[in-house]
A and B are shown apart, each in its own frame.
Chain A
């Protein structure tokens, strides 16, 4: 039960994008088309889940026993960068079309602040190994969900008669704000 609540908390109530305003660059950059947005979401979920697992192991088996708390940041960067590099190779091999669609945003997962935030949050919240993985996975799925919603609305927007001063980035940011307002409705649902 607790696991499910943790998942829902990370995905909906404390959504990384709309609650903490993290990972805004892919949120605005790759949400033009649903396919690439969802692909980006899953790629980020993959990195988040694995980061959560690996960071937990590194934190609790290497860094904390040796009192190397100051190396947390370095370790997180190392893990995230390696994972993204791996993911990039994998996607380039398995789907060149997707690789081209994601473009620069794929290597930019490295600097996605939501993943770094996740890596730093895990020791702060004191999660155990399973909880960390669920937390990472939930955060990733929340990110994917928001990317999907945003891309869906933006695709519909192509046919809408947007006033000229609001076209492009302006209407996208208004959309993001409204979405964040809507997600505020989840506040208080789960007290985690």
Chain B
């Protein structure tokens, strides 16, 4: 009993002594932080996704206060957060565009040809290193879902070997863009009325592209010919849509024999 009492007293005393010294030190070495940092941090989503280009939300908030970062750089929070931060900083913010991930491949399992059996690590990164593992197309989606793993917001689900992006959940942080070893995902502005995108990244010649995949661009150039606004041009083996000229008529998408030109945000695999 006596032993317990002595232990408690000595350890408690030591603890109290150190706590006292530390509390003095804390007062003496206190760092004056701009209260705005804390306020901005409260507004930010706090996911530390790195979409703004800074290591953490705190880091980003500190940079805003310092004036190094713009108030609307948080892609996750979007418009609302930008307005809130602008209010705290006392500045005005322009319109921020919502950007979402877009996958430049639409070949599901069964539509893309296999060239071998693959029993290795089920990751796109690993499969890409060994020449795309079993996938015949050297540009297409490997389908092991590295992007799904990278997404912090649960916006990507792998459906039949192709990532399906939930536009309502996608915040445009760009983690999937970095995760894809084949650079098939890009961030595209969403809030336009109609816009058409090329959902194929194959730079193969037409014949080869036709052999390896059912949903590939075969560089036929029909889209370029039918476009009434001179907005669609062939570049190497793929069409490129000039957004300045595109009026969203959709003729190219209708005429494409391989259905690789799609309207963004409305088709079945990109749920809105």
Alpha-carbon distance A86/B26, docked complex (angstroms) = 8
Q: Are A90 and B10 in contact (CB under 8 A)?
A: no
In chain B, positions 1-35 with a C-beta closer than 8 Å to chain A are 3, 6-7, 10-11, 14-15, 18, 21-22, 25-26, 29-31
Select which of B3, B15, B25 is within 8 A of A78 by beta carbon.
B15
Residues of A within 8 A of B29 (CB): 89-90, 92-93
Residues of A within 8 A of B31 (CB): 92-93
Residues of A within 8 A of B25 (CB): 86, 89-90
| A74-B11, A75-B11, A89-B26 as given contacts; A66 in contact with B6, CB under 8 Å | yes
Q: Are A62 and B26 in contact (CB under 8 A)?
A: no
Q: Are B22 and A58 in contact (CB under 8 A)?
A: no
**Secondary structure call for the B interface:** helix
Residues of B within 8 A of A74 (CB): 11
| A92-B29, A92-B31, A93-B31 as given contacts; A71 in contact with B21, CB under 8 Å | no
Q: Is A63 interfacial (CB 8 A cutoff)?
A: yes
Q: Are B14 and A58 in contact (CB under 8 A)?
A: yes
Chain A's closest residue to B26 (CB) is: A89
Alpha-carbon distance A90/B11, docked complex (angstroms) = 25
Residues of B within 8 A of A187 (CB): none
Alpha-carbon distance A63/B3, docked complex (angstroms) = 11
Residues of B within 8 A of A66 (CB): 6, 10
Q: Number of contacting residues on A, CB 8 A?
A: 18
Alpha-carbon distance A82/B30, docked complex (angstroms) = 16
Q: Are A71 and B10 in contact (CB under 8 A)?
A: yes
Q: Are B22 and A75 in contact (CB under 8 A)?
A: no
Q: Are B18 and A68 in contact (CB under 8 A)?
A: no
Q: Are A78 and B11 in contact (CB under 8 A)?
A: yes
As a 0/1 sequence over residues 94 to 118 of chain A, the CB contacts with chain B under 8 angstroms (1 = contact) are: 0000000000000000000000000
Residues of A within 8 A of B14 (CB): 58, 62, 75, 78
Q: How far is the CB of B231 from chain A (nearest CB, A)?
A: 46
Alpha-carbon distance A68/B14, docked complex (angstroms) = 14
30 A-B pairs with C-beta separation under 8 A: A58-B14, A62-B14, A63-B10, A66-B6, A66-B10, A68-B7, A68-B10, A71-B7, A71-B10, A71-B11, A75-B11, A75-B14, A78-B11, A78-B14, A78-B15, A78-B18, A82-B18, A82-B22, A85-B22, A86-B21, A86-B22, A86-B25, A89-B22, A89-B29, A90-B25, A90-B29, A92-B31, A93-B29, A93-B30, A93-B31
Besides A71-B11, A89-B22, A89-B25, 16 other CB < 8 A contacts?
A: A62-B10, A62-B14, A66-B10, A67-B3, A68-B10, A71-B7, A78-B11, A78-B15, A78-B18, A79-B18, A85-B22, A89-B29, A90-B29, A92-B31, A93-B30, A93-B31
Name A's B-contacting residues (CB within 8 A): 58, 62-63, 66-68, 71, 74-75, 78-79, 82, 85-86, 89-90, 92-93
